[in-house]
Amino acid sequence: MKFYNKNRLYWYRRMSQAYVNMEICDGMNAEERAVKRGADVIGALLGLLLLSPVFAVVYLLLKWEGLGPVIYKQERIGYKGQSFFILKFRTMRADSEKDGQPRLAEKDDERLTPVGKFLREHHLDELPQLWNVLCGEMSFVGPRPERRYFIDLIMKENPDYEYVFLMRPGLTSQATLYNGYTDTMRKMLVRLQMDLYYFQHRSLWMDLKIIWTTVCFILKGKKF
């Protein structure tokens, strides 16, 4: 248990037995989901507009580094089990998975480029996902989208992962804040329980709290 800080330990204990023999229902009704989607569209448009100078600076830095395409696209599985391409600023070498074997990202991954490490530490690599949000493939708050390879591994341990497909994946979540990098199967299963908890208890107020906490963590330079 040394790995978990106080918040992570709290969530691990809370989630570990939360969904044994229990029906899982969406905490949001249709009207709330419509408001959430509308807020996503407005927020994504404002974010793309206001952060355009940041996009330009990051683009120039990555072009100067010259170690691969500026925008990295990777297939993920999202809402209703449909695949889509998540967008990120490139943070790793172009040959990071040259053997074709999917690898989980680690906190201090040796595959990170110098500029990429800075972007990753300050979460700037996620900015292009505002376009995914605008297109309806993602939301500001929701479970982080995963690759099919790892979803299959998770579902062998816990088939309740299928409930995740009832939500749009998000830029941030409780699991993102308190479970850190999901670089082990144990952490993937803890993340799943946290995502299921969010699904059953989510509300517009909860989303606002998660977004506010995320912004505070980033401004304080907290690693998550």
Q: What is the pLDDT of residues 167-223, one digit of tens each?
A: 999 999 999 999 877 888 999 999 999 999 999 999 999 999 999 999 999 888 777
Handedness of CA 29, 32, 38, 40 (dihedral sign): negative
Where do the DSSP E strands lie in 38-101? 71-77, 83-89
What mean pLDDT do residues 82-93 have?
A: 91
For 183, other C-beta atoms within 10 Å of its C-beta total 14
**Contacting residues for 30 by C-beta, under 8 A, at least 6 apart:** none
On average, the pLDDT of the chain sits at 85
H or E segment and range at residue 172: strand 170-172
What mean pLDDT do residues 88-102 have?
A: 68
136, 167 Cβ separation under 8 angstroms:
no
pTM of the model: 0.82
| Distance (Å) of CA 126 to CA 51, 55, 112, 204, 216 | 12, 11, 15, 22, 16
pLDDT surpassing 80 at residue 107: no
194, 4 Cβ separation under 8 angstroms:
no
How many percent of the chain have pLDDT more than 70? 82
Residue 94's pLDDT band, with cuts at 50, 70 and 90, is low
pLDDT surpassing 50 at residue 1: no
Where do the DSSP E strands lie in 90-162? 139-141
Q: What is the DSSP letter of 112?
A: B
Provide the pLDDT for residue 179: 87
Provide the pLDDT for residue 62: 92
30-59 in b/e form (b: 16+ CB < 10 A) is eeebeebeebbeebbeebbeeeeeebeebe
What mean pLDDT do residues 3-26 have?
A: 51
Q: Rounded to whole angstroms, how far apart are CA atoms 21 and 224?
A: 31
Provide the pLDDT for residue 21: 41
What mean pLDDT do residues 94-99 have?
A: 56
pLDDT surpassing 80 at residue 96: no
127, 49 Cβ separation under 8 angstroms:
no
Provide the pLDDT for residue 221: 79
Closest CA to 19 of 205, 212, 213, 199: 199
